A and B are shown apart, each in its own frame.
Chain A
Amino acid sequence: MNWFHRILHRSSQREDAILLLNLRCTRFRQLVRNYGKILDALADAADKQGGDYILDRQYTVSLSEVVLDLTEAIIFDLNILAGDRYDSFYHLLDRFRSEVRDTIAMENGVDGPPSSGMREAAKVRTPTSTEALNKLAKAIAESRVLYERVGRVACRGVAAGPVFNLETEDSADAFTEGAVMVASDIVPDDEFIRLMRQASAILIDLGEPAGDAATLAREFGIPTIVGLADASKRLETGSEVTVDADENTVYQGWIQELLEYYKTERLDQEEETEYRILRRLRRLMFALTLEKDAETGAELGDCRTLHDLVHVAHELAGDAQFELITNLRDFKKTSTNLVTISNIPFYVIDVGGGLAQSDRGAASPDVTEISSLPMRMFVHGMDQIFREGPQMPQPGVLPLSVMATVTEEHANMIVQQPGGFDMVDSMIGESRDSNHIYCRFASTTQGNEDKAVRGAVACEILSRLDFAAAQTTRATAAWLSGVPRSDMEERLTIIGRLGAYLLEADATGWDGTSRDAYVNTFITRHV
């Protein structure tokens, strides 16, 4: 990093330094975009694992190769950002690559495509009872559909039973074997697991196929649909429903014909090689197992999955970016623009159209002169919270500053706070394909005894905002892309509010027992 610092101090080469900084930011942006694509792939694979898709082997092969290629690109970019300090990451990647390919080859060998001689015999016979099929089609056509493709399938299967709505019942004592469990949200504690094992099906308002409850549902093979939004408000205890999680549909009443049909005609998910391969690959590649101390962060030796490796690599790249920016402390006095918002100093380095004022290094610009759209939205959100709050941030109470490297459509913002730093990297333009928000929030703050509460709160909120999020004891990282400009602006304003909300809680101290309260307060007041 010293080379970079030296260049910055040579006034004659300041423009070159700006160019280099721009290149570094572009490289980092590329890295987080690839990291985001992996998080998207993770969410997509969890969605597919739910079981309501027709998969083929090519899907799992392509998925794994795409993720391996993205990982290699991330390691390459990390080494450029951090001066080739992480060559050893390639060796671990090679090991994972071999394991992934072996897994696919092994499963294909166990249950490969039938030989041509077997194929004729393997032909699936036509139904013998047209009458039964007609009866089934009639029963489905006459049934009232309560939900059709509203939520997301977490575990395939079909079941019917009386609803037991956990939100409206004071006690779960009356929960009976075979009931359809309905809930707003799920905390997979012992009581939930006990009830879950008795349920014939599960319907949840919130949640994702990659979430804990969904994972448990698959583990137990219970037909489950998550993300139904209002099931706990619509479905009364005692009413009967038929849950067809193969089709992501919930019918009113008990459709015996459907249950009978599936009993004879459908395969269990575990009988399907494609799903078995996908499950193994997801364990090998996508589990996040890092549990290291928040202060030191995880290291290469702690990586047991590809996701671990990618997560560590992207965190180290973020650290390198932070190191670079904080090394600009002297530089910022002369070549950055100071914008003070809610008493917080924003040091802005404009590398191309990020400030309306063209004369970089001149007198402090006003907030209205920020022409970088992502920065303007973030600042706007942050300012809203601090203006509404009990008091504006005071030096010494929230000893922070924000370093922003901006262009008209892009901003990389690093919020320095007592326990480390938060970071937002965002591109917002007319092309939705190139739009993204990446954010990283430290899991803890200085002196905080409730380990990782901050990160857990951020992770839950970001998940509810449709970000693909991953949390370790060190930081929560989240990603959103492919969203139209107006939606991106709104989301980034909310991220600004979230950043300020976390900083306010840092100042007052976190209560480790109130995670849900922090999340609900933010969602209710600020989303």
Chain B
Amino acid sequence: MNGSLQIMLVDDEPIVGKRLKPALAKYGLEVEVFEDGPGALRRLREKEFDIVVTDVRMEDVDGMQVLEYVLANSKRTKVIIITGYATVEVAREALVKGAFDFIAKPFKPDDLRAVIDRAAKALGHPGIRKSDD
């Protein structure tokens, strides 16, 4: 598996998508950003992503529902949960359900890239970290 990693990023805080998309895309990742759960679910019905990065706390459809949908419909897709400042317990619950890993805000883009890198390698992809090239 050597093509561009297909990443879905779901967070209802606009800042997260706006900051993370360029931070990931500049390392060759193809990123689609959604600011709501229903929009993300619609897209998931159309396309299988390698990695889904989703905030856990959102209106309408939350990150746990996104996780459950992915687990039920795409066994190979890795899900990374983003948690808010004080929702680490929820993230642990997500791990038990089958999330690949979680990352707590505030975080640095490189922190997320490190987690994505591990998820990519778990999928058989060579990874994205410069140091591993």
Bound complex: CA A59 to CA B106 (Å)? 7
Q: Is B32 an interface residue (CB 8 A)?
A: yes
The answer to whether A272 touches B108, judged by C-beta atoms less than 8 angstroms apart, is no
Among A52, A119, A127, A262, which residue has the most Cβ atoms of chain B within 10 A? Answer: A119
| Stretch of B22-30, B63-71, B92-100 with 4 or more beta carbons under 8 angstroms from chain A | B22-30
Q: Is B50 an interface residue (CB 8 A)?
A: no
Tell me whether chain B's interface is mostly helix, strand or loop, or mixed: mixed
Q: Is B46 an interface residue (CB 8 A)?
A: no
The answer to whether A265 touches B19, judged by C-beta atoms less than 8 angstroms apart, is no
Closest chain-B Cβ to A400's Cβ sits at a distance in Å of 45
B32: chain A residues at CB < 8 Å are 126
A126: chain B residues at CB < 8 Å are 30-32
Bound complex: CA A481 to CA B21 (Å)? 36
Bound complex: CA A247 to CA B120 (Å)? 21
The answer to whether A265 touches B85, judged by C-beta atoms less than 8 angstroms apart, is no
A54: chain B residues at CB < 8 Å are 15-16, 19-20, 105-109, 112
Bound complex: CA A36 to CA B107 (Å)? 23
The answer to whether A58 touches B84, judged by C-beta atoms less than 8 angstroms apart, is yes
Bound complex: CA A298 to CA B84 (Å)? 38
Q: Is B45 an interface residue (CB 8 A)?
A: no
Closest chain-B Cβ to A209's Cβ sits at a distance in Å of 13
The answer to whether A119 touches B39, judged by C-beta atoms less than 8 angstroms apart, is yes
Bound complex: CA A144 to CA B106 (Å)? 28
Among A59, A113, A116, A266, the residue within 8 A (CB) of B85 is A59
Q: Is A77 an interface residue (CB 8 A)?
A: no
B31: chain A residues at CB < 8 Å are 126
**Given A52-B108, A58-B86, A124-B18; A247-B23 close (CB under 8 Å):** yes
The answer to whether A149 touches B106, judged by C-beta atoms less than 8 angstroms apart, is no
- Which residues of A in the span 226-281 have a Cβ within 8 Å of any Cβ on B? 246-248, 258, 261-262, 265-267, 272-274
The answer to whether B85 touches A62, judged by C-beta atoms less than 8 angstroms apart, is yes
Q: Is B89 an interface residue (CB 8 A)?
A: no
A-B contact count (CB 8 A): 109
A170: chain B residues at CB < 8 Å are none
Closest chain-B Cβ to A49's Cβ sits at a distance in Å of 11
Among B17, B27, B130, which residue has the most Cβ atoms of chain A within 10 A? Answer: B130
Q: Is A137 an interface residue (CB 8 A)?
A: yes
B109: chain A residues at CB < 8 Å are 52, 54, 246-247
Among B13, B19, B33, B133, the residue within 8 A (CB) of A57 is B13
- Which residues of A in the span 131-155 have a Cβ within 8 Å of any Cβ on B? 133-134, 136-137, 140-141, 145, 149
Among B14, B25, B35, B110, the residue within 8 A (CB) of A247 is B110
Question: Residue of A at shortest CB range from B31?
Answer: A126
A248: chain B residues at CB < 8 Å are 108, 110
Among A56, A116, A136, A137, the residue within 8 A (CB) of B16 is A56
Among B4, B60, B107, the residue within 8 A (CB) of A116 is B60
Interface readout for A341-358 with B: 1 if CB under 8 Å, 0 if not?
A: 000000000000000000
Q: Is B34 an interface residue (CB 8 A)?
A: yes
Bound complex: CA A158 to CA B26 (Å)? 13
Q: Is A120 an interface residue (CB 8 A)?
A: yes
- Which residues of A in the span 19-57 have a Cβ within 8 Å of any Cβ on B? 48, 52-57
Question: Residue of A at shortest CB range from B59?
Answer: A116
Closest chain-B Cβ to A156's Cβ sits at a distance in Å of 10
Closest chain-A Cβ to B32's Cβ sits at a distance in Å of 5
Closest chain-A Cβ to B23's Cβ sits at a distance in Å of 7
Q: Is A85 an interface residue (CB 8 A)?
A: no
The answer to whether A246 touches B23, judged by C-beta atoms less than 8 angstroms apart, is yes
Question: Residue of A at shortest CB range from B86?
Answer: A62
Closest chain-A Cβ to B122's Cβ sits at a distance in Å of 21
Bound complex: CA A265 to CA B20 (Å)? 11
Closest chain-B Cβ to A228's Cβ sits at a distance in Å of 17
The answer to whether A122 touches B35, judged by C-beta atoms less than 8 angstroms apart, is yes
Bound complex: CA A262 to CA B22 (Å)? 8
Closest chain-A Cβ to B59's Cβ sits at a distance in Å of 7
Among A123, A141, A145, A258, which residue has the most Cβ atoms of chain B within 10 A? Answer: A123
The answer to whether A56 touches B27, judged by C-beta atoms less than 8 angstroms apart, is no
Bound complex: CA A267 to CA B18 (Å)? 7
**Given A54-B105, A141-B133; A123-B25 close (CB under 8 Å):** no
Bound complex: CA A274 to CA B36 (Å)? 19
Interface readout for A410-421 with B: 1 if CB under 8 Å, 0 if not?
A: 000000000000
Among A57, A133, A145, A274, the residue within 8 A (CB) of B25 is A133
Bound complex: CA A246 to CA B106 (Å)? 14
The answer to whether A56 touches B26, judged by C-beta atoms less than 8 angstroms apart, is no
Q: Is A368 an interface residue (CB 8 A)?
A: no
Bound complex: CA A381 to CA B53 (Å)? 51
Bound complex: CA A96 to CA B21 (Å)? 37
Question: Residue of A at shortest CB range from B33?
Answer: A124
Closest chain-B Cβ to A120's Cβ sits at a distance in Å of 6
A274: chain B residues at CB < 8 Å are 13, 15
Closest chain-A Cβ to B105's Cβ sits at a distance in Å of 5
* 15 A/B residue pairs, CB under 8 Å, sorted by A: A48-B106, A55-B15, A55-B106, A58-B85, A113-B13, A116-B36, A119-B35, A120-B36, A120-B39, A124-B17, A124-B21, A133-B30, A149-B110, A246-B23, A265-B25
Residues of chain A having any CB pair with chain B under 8 Å? 48, 52-59, 61-62, 113-114, 116, 119-120, 122-124, 126-127, 130, 133-134, 136-137, 140-141, 145, 149, 246-248, 258, 261-262, 265-267, 272-274
Residues of chain B having any CB pair with chain A under 8 Å? 4, 12-23, 25-28, 30-36, 39, 59-60, 84-86, 105-110, 112, 130, 133
Contacts A55-B105, A126-B32 supplied; 16 other A-B pairs, CB < 8 Å? A52-B108, A53-B106, A53-B108, A54-B20, A61-B85, A114-B14, A124-B18, A130-B30, A137-B28, A140-B27, A140-B130, A246-B109, A261-B26, A265-B21, A265-B25, A272-B15
What are the 9 tightest A-B residue pairs by CB atom distance, in nearest-first order? A137-B28, A265-B22, A124-B33, A119-B36, A53-B106, A58-B85, A58-B84, A62-B85, A56-B13
